[in-house]
């Protein structure tokens, strides 16, 4: 067992957990933040993406113990009250159906837009599709997800 | 996952000691392969020795025209490094094409080469660029470092600390992705520099990453896509699996070699 | 802004999903939760000679290890297939026994033999590996044609030759005669590749036994919680229906795979009683590949005959369907009544004959997956049309037009009676949107860059909204296929609709509310949809087969008819007017042509205060309805795929994908288009990426996302989606259904386009770069 302390969604948390606890398990089982989903076991689907120190990370492939002292943001903490422009864009563009991949899609997309804006690069539809390589959706065919990201990028 | 003991190593000596003390201790860097393997019960190390917090393990620096990349430097950091983009843009491009953005934020160059997955990208880059792997006990040339499928020259208690990569005068990398895993079905890294013309192929060899003598000779004489395209690539010794036959991989080696040269 | 029929209303359910507040089965965690992990066979076929659980039982934190002998000893019944198919010789289908935990023999890799119940999920999984099973390995077979060939391993004793049934439809002799007299006969052999549905939420179950009441509660990832309860109760003898509550909360996609009642749910319920603990099981993706029912897997040869003018004179089809190791819930209906009945396509064909042999193999059971039978029929028919056009030197659209059904209703020789459609209108619309006229110039431009450009069509038809219960009953179905609804008007005038349909991504909370809000002219937020809980909702059939609109919403309309009738009576009584003069609009119930009116909520209040109701009227305002469809519905349309192939690598880029669909009435275009986008992406996945692969020993090779290629964002294009609709005459809203069309119509369009580009017709699905490159090399 190891003591893990981190800041999750702006709040300091500390838990005694088994050393092998994945960040996804830490969030879902120990903090009961169940918005972070697990859709595969080989790091392809991206339903589990959260932000660690401001960067998109697959929480199913990261040990909680290694993130002691980190800042973690999950889908539950993305917006400071109300909705983040990316969340707003997903609903306005019908970028979700069953909702299972959605938290990871949104967290990945926010990270994507932040990186492109920081680098001053244009985020084209083609670039969005490439950047979504680590997130699988079975419902939407991605069409409206791409529209949502384009829409949010213009507003972020 | 099976229970394990997590160590955050404070120094290289600390890491080496922890590796030696554990019954079946493994180095943890980004963990993007290791943790997935552990989840599937295909690995059950007694101890994980995390090297990322060790001073100097992360980051890119230069030593003259030599790139020095810390073992725990992430793919995203390599891709975004101004030094890498200046001295070896092909390597930056290679890093930018690994996995997906979230994987690139965590996965490391040291982890990739220590695992030596036969479909990983970095082994091709390092082999073609004539890199040197610096460890806790020695320096190992890329030609000696990569020793077959998931096998390297590393001892059990040896930790990669950095990779030294000489700048190439010309270099290009072209990859054909396996559509499910996004690993390389075939990746060809072609480079020309002080060490001559070197062409390394990943994803395709039965024994992992390898240098292609025919392509090296052709490109050594004439660095052009046409020269690469003129080389008949044989299918002997190439992998065959559900994703590609040896013949198809042979074809892709030729095509990717052309595109690597075009990209250089 | 209008929120009624046809309005692009933003989804009411979205907020919880985009903020991480959705509640899926794995999010449920009870006090003192215990966890299940299954001991699964690593062998495709083996006798189980013994199970040693001692090492697992000795682990600290292991609560119990249970096996199949105990399960059957407690009277838990075998898993059944609910649709009886009769072979052409009159014999019943050969259904082999399927116990939730195998007792003496395992028949595929993943077949469960025992379950570990432990204090944590991690421990349960570790302990499951410590259970030692004495397997006596037997020869195994994965391919259906090999399973039916002599000498293959016998999988079930009561299915000689591994044959489940040998079934036919249509007039074989007449079809043979028509083909013999044909001016041209096109022959085609196709395989419809085996797929794994891959809803992104893995299946899960949380079962809790309450010993005080002998009562069970099951949270589960189900598309049809009532059917699950019925089957768990009536066939598997877990508990009487009144002692079993099934809740399907937020469900992360289904695509058919969550229709069926699997060994895991049964086992968790039983284990919760055995251990007196709440038992939770959550599949991971690797486990999903070896437990979720697979789809498709047909091997077919066919002949289509044409007269000199290009009219189809006969169509003869021979299909082998792979059922896997056991018969899943609706498996038998998929390659028969959901497949062979659609072989007429959009065409007027006088003679059709289809023979289907169903085979056991040592693979995961196969059942309905998005489209279920209809994609296999469509792929065959539309590949056949394109191939025939090429052989006869005809334009593929001309050949289709010459054979389109033009008059409705149209009775095909294979049961279906098409009720409405305008196939030419969909083809015209698609061709205009796809700029077919400009294709030649685009192809030339591609050629200039060394690329091969191709165009492929698919004019699909499918049958949805199944269907009159008496009709499906006569064809062997074990259930009726109606739907139920209850419309509850509360005393304050707000409305709850209890529906037997189940939403797992389809947006029912929005679309169902739209039709209610429109009918009573109320704000959308005043209408709530309740579904997915057998304690709350009356018996319903659930959601699959694109039936929630055509059948589920029709039931709501029927219930609203009754509500409206009562509202009129109450208002007429209170306002002292004739019922015929009552008008419901703007939140009011008025007397036409007067200023007499009462608020909608006042009618509700009147119904519940019951101070002033017509004589003999019962208090309250809530009505229910069960709607049984009068016919199948027939969504149809044309898809056009345009591709560019890189001949050096075989990489195919879909540069344009155009859809023109006829879904009848559309309630919410956002949702309908979303269904089409997702369906097409799955169809492109089947056509170019996805395939479940078994090796010769029936070991699964594609057991994770490392080897099973799911469509990603960069694998699919933006879609150009259009509608040219005719109204379905057989249900009150005129709806046809849109959930499966994309997956049904798209695969042949893709393959027709690639084969057009490369100039070779010999290309199987999935058309991976290697397959396309091989086809190019072979044609050189």
Alpha helices in C235-315 (DSSP H): 263-275, 285-291
Residues in chain C: 780
CA nearest C147: which of C299, C308, C18? Answer: C299
Please compute the mean of the pLDDT values over residues B249-262 and round it to a whole number. 98
Nearest CA in chain C to B100: C712
- Mark whether A62 and A127 lie in a shared domain: no
Nearest to A62 among B8, B99, B106 (CB): B106
Give every strand in the sheet of A49-52, ordered side by side. Answer: A11-17, A2-8, A71-73, A49-52, A55-58
Main-chain dihedrals φ then ψ at residue A111, nearest 5 degrees: -60, -45
What mean pLDDT value characterizes chain C? 97
Identify the CATH class of C14-138+201-252+258-291.
alpha beta
pLDDT at C37: 98
C180 Rama sector, left if φ>0, alpha if ψ -120 to 50, beta otherwise: alpha
Closest CA of chain C from B260, distance in Å: 14
| Inter-residue contact C752 to C641 (CB < 8 Å) | yes
- How buried is residue C210: exposed, middle or buried, by Cβ count under 10 Å (0-12/13-18/19+)? middle
Q: Which of B42, B101, B177, B182 to mutate to test the interface with A (most CBs of A within 10 A)?
A: B101
Q: What is the pLDDT of residues C253-302, one digit of tens each?
A: 999 999 999 999 999 999 999 999 999 999 999 999 999 999 999 999 99
Pairing of the two strands C352-359 and C410-411: unpaired
- Mark whether A149 and A106 lie in a shared domain: yes
Please compute the mean of the pLDDT values over residues C535-560 and round it to a whole number. 95
Query: Cβ of A63 and B182 within 8 Å?
Result: no
**How distant, in Å, are the alpha carbons of A156, C120, C295 from that of C458?**
41, 51, 21
Closest CA of chain C from B139, distance in Å: 34
In the listed set A77, A109, A138, which residue is the last one of a domain according to the structure? A77
Query: Cβ of B36 and A43 within 8 Å?
Result: yes
Query: Cβ of B248 and C708 within 8 Å?
Result: no
Q: What is the pLDDT of residues C127-170, one digit of tens each?
A: 999 999 999 999 999 999 999 999 999 999 999 999 999 999 99
pLDDT at A81: 86
Q: Name the DSSP letter for residue C112.
A: E
Please compute the mean of the pLDDT values over residues B196-217 and round it to a whole number. 97
Identify the CATH class of B5-166.
alpha beta
Q: Which tokens in the block code for residue C303?
A: 């002949």
Q: Which tokens in the block code for residue B12?
A: 């290289």
Residues of A within 8 A of C290 (CB-CB) are: none
Residues of B within 8 A of A60 (CB-CB) are: 39
Nearest CA in chain C to B119: C706
Fold designation for B170-263 = Enolase-like; domain 1 (3.30.390)
pLDDT at B186: 98
Residues of C within 8 A of B242 (CB-CB) are: 693, 701-702, 707
Q: Name the DSSP letter for residue B152.
A: B
Query: Cβ of C125 and B179 within 8 Å?
Result: no
Which position has the token pair 């660095």?
A: B223
Q: Name the DSSP letter for residue C241.
A: G
- Mark whether A9 and A69 lie in a shared domain: yes
Main-chain dihedrals φ then ψ at residue C431, nearest 5 degrees: -65, -40
Main-chain dihedrals φ then ψ at residue C553, nearest 5 degrees: -70, -30
| Inter-residue contact B118 to B239 (CB < 8 Å) | yes
Residues of C within 8 A of B39 (CB-CB) are: 284
Q: Is the pLDDT of residue C466 over 90?
A: no
pLDDT at C428: 98
Question: Angle CA(A49)–CA(A50)–CA(A51) in degrees, nearest 5?
Answer: 130
Query: Cβ of C19 and A83 within 8 Å?
Result: yes
Per-residue pLDDT band at A142 (split at 50, 70, 90): very high
Question: Angle CA(C704)–CA(C705)–CA(C711) in degrees, nearest 5?
Answer: 140
Helix (H) or strand (E) holding B177: strand B170-177
CB atoms within 10 A of CB B41: 13
Q: Which of C9, C14, C668 to mutate to test the interface with A (most CBs of A within 10 A)?
A: C14
Closest CA of chain C from A38, distance in Å: 8
| Inter-residue contact C476 to C86 (CB < 8 Å) | yes
Q: Which tokens in the block code for residue C306?
A: 């044409």
Query: Cβ of B248 and C773 within 8 Å?
Result: yes
Write down which chains contact chain C via at least 3 CB pairs under 8 A: A, B
Nearest to B3 among A18, A56, A58 (CB): A18
Q: Is the pLDDT of residue C228 over 90?
A: yes
Which CATH architecture fits C419-457+636-780? 2-Layer Sandwich (3.30)
The answer for residues whose C-beta is within 8 angstroms of residue C58's C-beta and 6 or more apart is none
Helix (H, G, I), strand (E, B) or coil at B174: strand
Which CATH architecture fits C482-627? 2-Layer Sandwich (3.30)
What mean pLDDT value characterizes chain A? 97
- Mark whether A63 and A121 lie in a shared domain: no
Q: Is B76 on the interface with A (CB under 8 A)?
A: yes
Residues of C within 8 A of B253 (CB-CB) are: none
| Inter-residue contact C685 to C768 (CB < 8 Å) | no
- Mark whether A93 and A68 lie in a shared domain: no
pLDDT at C118: 98
The answer for residues whose C-beta is within 8 angstroms of residue C529's C-beta and 6 or more apart is C496, C497, C499, C503, C508, C509, C512, C513
Query: Cβ of C677 and A42 within 8 Å?
Result: no
Q: What is the pLDDT of residues C364-408, one digit of tens each?
A: 999 999 999 999 999 999 999 999 999 999 999 999 999 999 999
| Pairwise CA distance, residues C306 & C184, whole Å | 5
Write down which chains contact chain A via at least 3 CB pairs under 8 A: B, C
| Pairwise CA distance, residues C20 & C247, whole Å | 20
C328 Rama sector, left if φ>0, alpha if ψ -120 to 50, beta otherwise: beta
Query: Cβ of A65 and B100 within 8 Å?
Result: no
| Pairwise CA distance, residues B78 & B96, whole Å | 8
Question: Angle CA(C255)–CA(C261)–CA(C267) in degrees, nearest 5?
Answer: 135
Closest CA of chain C from B156, distance in Å: 26
Nearest CA in chain A to C681: A141
Q: Which tokens in the block code for residue A94?
A: 């019908």
Main-chain dihedrals φ then ψ at residue C199, nearest 5 degrees: -55, 140
CATH of residue A63:
3.10.20.30
In order, the DSSP letters of C704-763 are STTTS----GGGS--EEEEE-----TTSTT-B---SSHHHHHHHHHHHHHHHHHHT----
The residues of A whose Cβ lies within 8 A of any Cβ of B are: 2, 18-20, 22, 41-44, 46, 49, 52, 55-58, 60-63, 65-66, 68, 108, 111-112, 115, 131, 133-135
pLDDT at C650: 98
B/e letters for C732-753, b = 16+ CB within 10 Å, e = fewer, are bbbbbbbbbbbbbbbbbbbbbb
- Mark whether A149 and A100 lie in a shared domain: yes
CB pairs under 8 A between B and C: 42
Q: Domain residues for A92?
A: 85-155
Q: Which of B41, B178, B179 to mutate to test the interface with C (most CBs of C within 10 A)?
A: B179
Query: Cβ of C125 and B41 within 8 Å?
Result: yes
- Mark whether A47 and A104 lie in a shared domain: no
Closest CA of chain B from A108, distance in Å: 8
The ranges assigned to domains in chain C are: 14-138+201-252+258-291, 419-457+636-780, 482-627
Nearest CA in chain B to A130: B100
B/e letters for C452-485, b = 16+ CB within 10 Å, e = fewer, are bbbbbbbbbbbbbbbbbbebbeebbbbbebbbbb
Please compute the mean of the pLDDT values over residues B64-83 and round it to a whole number. 97
CATH of residue A142:
1.10.150.120
Per-residue pLDDT band at C646 (split at 50, 70, 90): very high
Residues of A within 8 A of B6 (CB-CB) are: 2, 19-20, 63, 65-66
Q: Is the pLDDT of residue C486 over 70?
A: yes
Query: Cβ of B103 and A62 within 8 Å?
Result: no
| Pairwise CA distance, residues C268 & C76, whole Å | 12
Q: Is the pLDDT of residue C2 over 90?
A: no
pLDDT at A2: 96
Do C14-138+201-252+258-291 and C419-457+636-780 agree at the fold level?
no
Nearest to B242 among C129, C701, C710 (CB): C701
Q: What is the pLDDT of residues C402-460, one digit of tens each?
A: 999 999 999 999 999 999 999 999 999 999 999 999 999 999 999 999 999 999 999 99
The residues of B whose Cβ lies within 8 A of any Cβ of C are: 1-2, 39-41, 176, 179-181, 242-245, 248, 251-252, 255
Query: Cβ of C706 and B245 within 8 Å?
Result: no
Q: What is the pLDDT of residues B100-119, one digit of tens each?
A: 999 999 999 999 999 999 99
In order, the DSSP letters of C143-192 are SHHHHHSTTPPPS-TTSGGGEEEEEEEE-HHHHHHHHHT-SEEEEEEEEE
Q: Which of B175, B185, B248, B252 to mutate to test the interface with C (most CBs of C within 10 A)?
A: B248
Q: What is the pLDDT of residues C595-645, one digit of tens each?
A: 999 999 999 999 999 999 999 999 999 999 999 999 999 999 999 999 999
CA nearest C374: which of C299, C463, C446? Answer: C463
3-state SS record for B21-87:
HCCCEEEECCCCCHHHHHHCCCCCCCEEEECCCCCCCCCEEEECCEEEEECCCEHHHHHHCHHHHHH
Q: What is the pLDDT of residues B20-46, one digit of tens each?
A: 998 999 999 999 999 999 999 999 999
For CATH 3.30.465.10, list the domain ranges present in chain B: 5-166
Please compute the mean of the pLDDT values over residues A57-67 and round it to a whole number. 98
Query: Cβ of C284 and A41 within 8 Å?
Result: yes
For CATH 3.30.390.50, list the domain ranges present in chain B: 170-263
Q: Is B98 on the interface with A (CB under 8 A)?
A: no
pTM above 0.90, yes or no: yes
pLDDT at C467: 79
3-state SS record for A11-30:
EEEEEEECCCCEHHHHHHHH
3-state SS record for A43-96:
CCCCCCEEEECCEEEEHHHCEHHHHCCCEEECHHHCCCCCCCHHHHHHHHCCCC
- Mark whether A98 and A143 lie in a shared domain: yes
CB atoms within 10 A of CB C195: 25
Residues of C within 8 A of A98 (CB-CB) are: 199-201, 250-253, 504-505
Closest CA of chain B from C708, distance in Å: 6
Q: Rg of chain A's alpha carbons, rounded to an integer?
A: 15
- Mark whether A7 and A66 lie in a shared domain: yes
Closest CA of chain C from A68, distance in Å: 22
Closest CA of chain B from A140, distance in Å: 19
Write down which chains contact chain B via at least 3 CB pairs under 8 A: A, C
Query: Looking at chain B from residue 33 to 62, which residues have their Cβ under 8 Å from any Cβ of chain A?
Result: 35-36, 38-40, 48, 50, 52
| Pairwise CA distance, residues C221 & C16, whole Å | 18
Nearest to B242 among C126, C648, C693 (CB): C693
pLDDT at A80: 83
Query: Cβ of A63 and B35 within 8 Å?
Result: yes
pLDDT at C1: 61
> In angstroms, how far is CA C596 from the centroid of its own chain?
50
| Pairwise CA distance, residues C102 & C68, whole Å | 5
Residues of B within 8 A of C693 (CB-CB) are: 242
CB atoms within 10 A of CB A10: 10
């Amino acid at each position: 067992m190891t003591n893990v302390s981190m800041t999750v969604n702006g709040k300091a948390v500390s838990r005694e957990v088994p050393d092998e606890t994945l960040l996804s398990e830490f969030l879902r089982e120990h903090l009961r933040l169940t918005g972070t989903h697990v859709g595969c076991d080989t790091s392809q689907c991206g339903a589990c993406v959260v932000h660690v120190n401001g960067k998109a990370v697959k929480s199913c492939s990261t040990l909680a113990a290694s993130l002691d002292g980190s800042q973690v943001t999950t889908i539950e903490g993305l917006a400071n009250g109300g909705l983040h422009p990316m969340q707003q864009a997903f609903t306005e563009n019908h970028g979700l159906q069953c909702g299972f991949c959605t938290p990871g899609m949104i967290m990945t997309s926010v990270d994507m837009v932040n990186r492109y804006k920081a680098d001053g690069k244009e985020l084209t539809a083609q670039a969005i599709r490439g950047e979504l390589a680590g997130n699988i959706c079975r419902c939407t065919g991605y069409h409206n997800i791409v529209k949502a990201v384009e829409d949010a990028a213009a507003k972020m | 996952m099976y229970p394990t003991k997590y160590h955050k190593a404070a120094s290289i000596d600390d890491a080496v000691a922890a590796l030696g003390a554990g019954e079946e201790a493994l180095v943890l860097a980004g963990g993007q392969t290791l943790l997935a393997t552990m989840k599937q019960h295909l690995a059950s190390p007694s101890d994980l020795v995390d090297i990322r917090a060790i001073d100097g393990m992360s980051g890119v620096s230069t030593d003259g025209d030599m790139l020095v990349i810390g073992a725990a430097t992430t793919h995203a950091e390599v891709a975004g490094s101004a030094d890498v983009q200046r001295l070896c843009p092909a390597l930056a491009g290679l890093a930018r094409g690994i996995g997906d953005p979230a994987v690139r934020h965590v996965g490391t160059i040291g982890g990739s080469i220590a695992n030596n997955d036969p479909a990983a990208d970095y082994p091709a880059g390092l082999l073609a660029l004539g890199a040197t792997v610096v460890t806790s006990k020695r320096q190992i040339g890329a030609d000696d470092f990569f020793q077959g499928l998931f096998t390297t020259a590393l001892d059990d208690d040896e930790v990669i600390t950095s990779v030294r990569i000489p700048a190439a005068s010309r270099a290009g990398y072209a990859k054909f992705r396996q559509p499910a895993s996004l690993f390389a079905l075939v990746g060809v890294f072609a480079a020309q520099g002080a060490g001559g013309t070197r062409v390394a192929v990943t994803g395709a060899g039965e024994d992992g990453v390898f240098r292609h003598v025919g392509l090296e000779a052709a490109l050594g004489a004439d660095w052009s896509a046409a020269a690469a395209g003129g080389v008949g690539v044989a299918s002997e010794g190439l992998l065959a699996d559900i994703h590609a036959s040896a013949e198809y991989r042979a074809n892709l080696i030729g095509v990717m070699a052309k595109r690597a040269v075009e990209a250089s | 802004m209008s929120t009624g029929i046809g309005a692009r209303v933003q989804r009411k359910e979205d907020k919880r999903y985009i903020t991480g507040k959705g509640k899926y089965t794995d999010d449920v965690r009870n006090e003192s939760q215990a966890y299940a992990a299954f001991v699964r066979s690593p062998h495709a076929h083996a006798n189980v000679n013994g199970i040693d659980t001692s090492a697992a039982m000795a682990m600290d934190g292991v609560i119990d290890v249970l096996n199949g002998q105990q399960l059957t000893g407690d009277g838990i019944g075998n898993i059944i297939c609910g649709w009886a198919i009769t072979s052409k010789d009159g014999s019943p289908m050969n259904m082999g026994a399927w116990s939730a935990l195998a007792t003496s023999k395992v028949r595929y890799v993943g077949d469960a033999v025992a379950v570990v119940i432990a204090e944590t999920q991690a421990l349960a999984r570790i302990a499951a590996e410590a259970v030692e099973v004495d397997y006596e390995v037997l020869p195994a077979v994965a391919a259906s044609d090999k399973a039916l060939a002599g000498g293959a391993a016998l999988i079930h004793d009561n299915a000689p030759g591994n044959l489940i049934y040998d079934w036919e439809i249509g007039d074989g002799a007449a079809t043979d005669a028509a083909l013999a007299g044909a001016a041209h006969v096109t022959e085609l052999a196709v395989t419809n590749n085996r797929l794994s549905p891959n809803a992104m939420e893995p299946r899960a179950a949380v079962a809790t036994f309450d010993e005080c009441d002998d009562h069970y509660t099951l949270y589960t990832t189900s598309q049809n919680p009532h059917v699950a309860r019925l089957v768990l109760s009536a066939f598997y003898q877990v508990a009487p229906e009144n002692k079993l509550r099934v809740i399907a909360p937020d469900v992360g996609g289904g695509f058919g795979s969550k229709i069926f009642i699997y060994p895991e749910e049964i086992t968790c319920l039983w284990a919760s009683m055995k251990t007196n603990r709440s038992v939770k099981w959550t599949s991971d993706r690797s486990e999903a590949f070896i437990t979720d029912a697979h789809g498709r897997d047909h091997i077919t040869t066919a002949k289509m005959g044409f007269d000199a003018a290009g009219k189809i004179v006969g169509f003869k089809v021979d299909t082998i369907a792979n059922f896997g190791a056991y018969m899943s819930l609706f498996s038998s209906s998929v390659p028969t009544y959901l497949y062979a009945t659609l072989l007429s396509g959009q065409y007027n064909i006088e003679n059709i004959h289809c023979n289907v042999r169903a085979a056991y193999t040592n693979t995961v059971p196969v059942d309905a997956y998005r489209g279920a039978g209809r994609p296999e029929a469509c792929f065959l028919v539309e590949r056949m049309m394109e191939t025939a056009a090429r052989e006869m030197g005809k334009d593929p659209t001309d050949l289709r037009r010459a054979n389109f059904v033009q008059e409705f209703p149209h009775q095909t020789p294979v049961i279906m009676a098409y009720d409405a459609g305008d196939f030419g209108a969909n083809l015209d619309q698609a061709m205009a949107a796809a700029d077919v006229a400009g294709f030649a110039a685009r192809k030339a431009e591609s050629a200039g860059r060394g690329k091969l450009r191709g165009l492929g069509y698919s004019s699909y038809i499918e049958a949805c909204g199944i269907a009159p219960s008496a009709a499906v009953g006569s064809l062997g179905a074990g259930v009726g296929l109606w739907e139920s609804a209850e419309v509850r008007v509360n005393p304050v005038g707000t409305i709850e609709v209890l529906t037997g349909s189940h939403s797992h991504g389809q947006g029912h909370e929005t679309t169902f509310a739209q039709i209610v809000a429109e009918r009573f002219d109320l704000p959308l937020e005043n209408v709530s949809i309740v579904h997915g809980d057998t304690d709350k909702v009356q018996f319903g059939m659930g959601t699959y087969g694109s039936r929630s609109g055509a059948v589920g919403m029709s039931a709501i309309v029927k219930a609203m008819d009754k509500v409206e009738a009562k509202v009129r009576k109450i208002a007429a009584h209170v306002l002292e007017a004739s019922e015929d003069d009552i008008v419901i609009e703007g939140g009011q119930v008025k007397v036409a042509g007067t200023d007499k009116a009462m608020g909608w909520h006042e009618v509700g209040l009147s119904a519940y205060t019951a101070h002033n109701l017509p004589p003999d009227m019962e208090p309250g305002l809530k009505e229910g309805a069960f709607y049984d469809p009068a016919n199948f519905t027939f969504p149809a349309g044309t898809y056009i795929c345009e591709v560019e192939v890189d001949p050096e690598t075989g990489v195919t880029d879909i540069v344009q994908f155009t859809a023109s669909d006829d879904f009848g009435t559309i309630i919410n275009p956002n949702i309908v288009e979303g269904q089409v986008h997702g369906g097409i992406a799955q169809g492109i996945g089947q056509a170019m990426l996805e395939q479940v692969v078994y090796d010769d020993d029936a070991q699964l090779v594609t057991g994770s996302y490392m080897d099973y290629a799911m469509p990603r964002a960069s694998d699919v294009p933006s879609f150009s989606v259009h509608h040219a609709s005719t109204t379905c005459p057989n249900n009150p809203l005129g709806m046809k259904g849109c959930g499966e069309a994309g997956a049904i119509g798209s695969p042949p369009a893709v393959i027709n386009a690639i084969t057009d580009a490369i100039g070779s017709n010999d290309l199987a699905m999935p058309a991976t770069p290697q397959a396309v490159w091989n086809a190019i090399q072979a044609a050189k």
